[in-house]
Each structure stands twice: as C-alpha cells, then as structure tokens.
C-alpha cells in the first residue's frame, strides 16, 4: 500500500490554518494576509512534494490519510474534510445530526480540478436564476432562505473507451410533387450498414450515489484540460464526497453514455430523411480508467419548511436545481396573458 505525505495545511508565515482561494488559485492566510503558491506550500512541507510524488507509482491504491469523515444520521451521506473545515450540516439533506470520525479506507484521486468559483458566485448564480423564472414565488427568491453554501469535491471515474463495430438502419426518403391531375408521393427505402471505430477520452461517470445521474450530467461540461495532479492541499477549506460507486458500476454508466453518443454520431452520417436503428453491433472496450475529483458548490434553500438543493459547477458557474412554482404568480400571469389575448382579439374585431 502506497502512503501519501501527511498534510497539515498550516501557513508557513504564522502557523495558522490556511485555505485555498479559488479566485487567485493560491493558499490565502486570513491571519497574516500571506499568499502562497503550490510550489511554496510544497517547499514548506505543507503539501505533498512534487519530487516525492514522482517517485511514487500513481495508481488506484493510494490511500487517503488523516482526513475527517462526517456521516449524516439522516440520509447516510459521508463527506470528507481536513482540519480547516468544521462540518455542522449535511450538504445533501440539510440535517445537522452528523457524526465526526476518521476515514478508514478509500483511495485518493489521481487528478483534480481546483475550484475556480467562490461562495459569493454561487449566491449570485442562484439570484440570477430565480430572477429569470417568472413563476418563482417571490419569497423563494429571498437570499435569506439560503441556509448554507458549501464547496464539495465530487468523485468521478473517467474512462478512455474504444467503440468498434457496425450499426444498420432502415432509412427512407420521401419526395412529393403534383401535376394538373394528380398529387404524387415517392418513398424510397434503404438498408444502410455503417461501420466505424470511435475513440473517447475521459468519459465521466459520477462515483457518488448522492446525486441523480441526470443532475450530474446537467452540471457538465467541465473543461478537463484544467485537470492537474491531485494534492491534499486543494481540499483546504472545502469538503470532499466519499465515493460509493465501484469502478465496474461506473464503467457500465460510461458505456451507456458512450453508446448513446456513438449512435447519434453514426446516425448523423446517414444522409437520409428518416433513420430507424435496426441492429447495433458496436462494442465498447475500456482502454484506461482514472479517478478524479471535480468542484461543485451545494446551495441549500429552506422555503416554507421544505429543503431545496441546488448544485453549481465550481469551475464554470453553471447552476442547476428544481425551482418551485408559486400559486399567486401562476394566477397573476394567467390573468395577464388572458387579458392581453382578450385585448388583442378585441382590437382585431374593432378594426374589422
């Protein structure tokens, strides 16, 4: 078992706890106002050294050490954090009934995208999103309803895949024309066989069951060119979700997503008006896999005693979540649309 260097995340200047600042992509000490790059943190032994990491074989057996795990008694979620974070609530269900313990097992990711956005960006994104929804209850838009905003690194499996094989389609083209006597319709049918080989790099599969897959898909795309070597220090001031989806289960999910994309790409090459897939003999092969962490802000809203959770892509700022529909707003806009329609009809009748 390969062991990672211990990380205490202390300020090299004053010894206080130090956190990662996404805005400047450095570690920022709020006590002495010092700022440090990753290289400087490594120099002061506050992060795993690049030299030491080069001597280690990066694989999926690297173990997470000295990370606290918080277990929610309400929903069972497990989130990890270092000593710079005091978790007092569950980012998923909002419960405050959590227990603090030490993680006993788990693997460290090989790559990570550090947060690019900060807490204020998540609040602004929530405000802008609700402003655009005219049926959102006025009270729901009040930022006072925001209970907590937390940055969480979500685990993902990544897969390099090869799709190889063929698909057959029943395709049709329809042509219509008329003369002085008749209307004509000509339908041509074709059996189309398409063979291909497609390569996919870093197909994502959520490694946590806390998010619905469609919700996590909605947070994409992430710019994976920002992936860098994982280092404990990037977790300073943030939480990290503990993975609970196996690599094999993640591969099944990635295969499903890849097959859907593959079908769309192949079908786009068939130059006919309509195409019905008849046989699919494409095989998806795993070339390589990896384990990474991606940044997500969780925004918990408490509205009329009900919990609403929004998720924001911590790299791009894209926000997703379900917004309630207000009864008063629905009635008001129904009346406005009806009156507008009535006035338009009245004007037309008057002018005619």
Domain coverage including residue 237: 19-321
Please tell me the predicted confidence (pLDDT) of residue 231.
85
Count CB atoms within 10 A of the CB of residue 271.
9
Residue 200: its pLDDT value, please? 94
Structural domain tally of the chain?
Answer: 1
Is residue 333 included in any domain, yes or no?
no
Residue 306 lies in a domain: yes
- Domain contains 337: no
Q: In this structure, what DSSP letter does residue 22 have?
A: T
Is residue 237 within 8 Å of residue 87, measured between CB atoms? no
- Cβ atoms of 151 and 237 closer than 8 Å: yes
- Please report the pLDDT score of residue 350 as a whole number: 72
At residue 55, the pLDDT reads 39
Residue 314 counted as domain residue: yes
Q: Which element (helix H / strand E) includes 278?
A: strand 274-280
The DSSP bridge partners found for residue 312 are 297, 319
Length of the chain: 352
Secondary structure of residue 283 in the 3-state scheme:
strand
Residue 326: inside a domain: no
Residue 251 lies in a domain: yes
Q: How far apart are CA 352 and CA 349, in angstroms?
A: 5
pLDDT value of position 210 = 78
Per-residue confidence of the chain (352 residues) as pLDDT tens digits?
233 333 456 788 887 878 888 989 988 888 888 888 888 887 776 565 444 344 344 445 566 555 677 777 777 777 777 666 656 667 777 666 666 665 445 567 889 999 999 999 999 998 888 887 776 777 777 788 787 888 989 999 999 999 999 999 999 999 999 988 899 999 999 999 998 899 999 999 999 887 778 778 889 999 999 999 988 788 888 888 878 888 999 999 999 999 999 998 888 888 888 999 999 999 999 999 999 999 999 888 888 888 888 899 999 999 988 777 766 666 766 777 777 777 888 788 777 6
**Residue 331, in any domain of the structure:** no
The pLDDT of residue 214 is: 79
> What is the 8-class DSSP label of residue 272?
S
Of 150, 141, 95, 148, the residue nearest 324 (C-alpha):
141
10 lies in some domain:
no
pLDDT at position 193 is 93
pLDDT at position 187? 93
């Amino acid at each position: 078992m390969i062991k990672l260097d211990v990380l205490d995340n202390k300020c090299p200047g004053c010894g206080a706890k130090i956190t990662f600042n996404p805005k400047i992509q450095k570690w920022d000490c709020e006590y002495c106002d010092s700022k440090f790059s990753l290289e400087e943190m490594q120099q002061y032994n506050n992060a795993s050294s690049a030299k030491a990491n080069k001597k280690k074989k990066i694989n999926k057996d690297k173990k997470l050490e000295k990370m606290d795990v918080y277990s929610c008694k309400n929903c069972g979620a497990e989130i990890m954090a270092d000593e710079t974070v005091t978790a007092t609530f569950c980012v998923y269900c909002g419960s405050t009934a959590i227990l603090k313990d030490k993680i006993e097992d788990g693997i460290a990711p090989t790559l990570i995208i550090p947060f690019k956005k900060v807490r204020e960006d998540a609040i602004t994104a929530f405000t802008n999103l609700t402003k655009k929804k005219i049926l959102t209850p006025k009270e729901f838009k009040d930022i006072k309803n925001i209970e907590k905003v937390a940055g969480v690194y979500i685990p993902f499996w990544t897969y390099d895949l090869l799709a190889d094989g063929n698909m057959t389609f029943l395709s049709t083209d329809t042509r219509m024309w008329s003369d002085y006597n008749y209307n004509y319709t000509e339908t041509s049918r074709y059996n189309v066989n398409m063979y291909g080989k497609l390569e996919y790099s870093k197909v994502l599969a959520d490694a946590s069951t806390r998010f619905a897959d469609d919700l996590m898909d909605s947070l994409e795309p992430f710019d994976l060119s920002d992936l860098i070597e994982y280092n404990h220090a990037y977790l300073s001031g943030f939480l990290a979700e503990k993975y609970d989806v196996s690599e094999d289960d993640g591969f099944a999910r990635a295969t499903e997503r890849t097959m859907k994309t593959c079908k769309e790409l192949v079908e786009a090459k068939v130059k006919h008006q309509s195409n019905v897939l008849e046989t699919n003999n494409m095989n998806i092969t795993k070339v390589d896999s990896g384990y990474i962490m991606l940044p997500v802000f969780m925004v918990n809203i408490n509205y009329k005693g009900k919990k609403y959770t929004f998720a924001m892509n911590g790299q791009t700022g894209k926000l997703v979540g379900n917004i309630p529909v207000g009864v008063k707003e629905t009635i008001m806009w129904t009346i406005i649309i009806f009156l507008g329609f009535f006035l338009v009809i009245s004007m037309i009748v008057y002018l005619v």
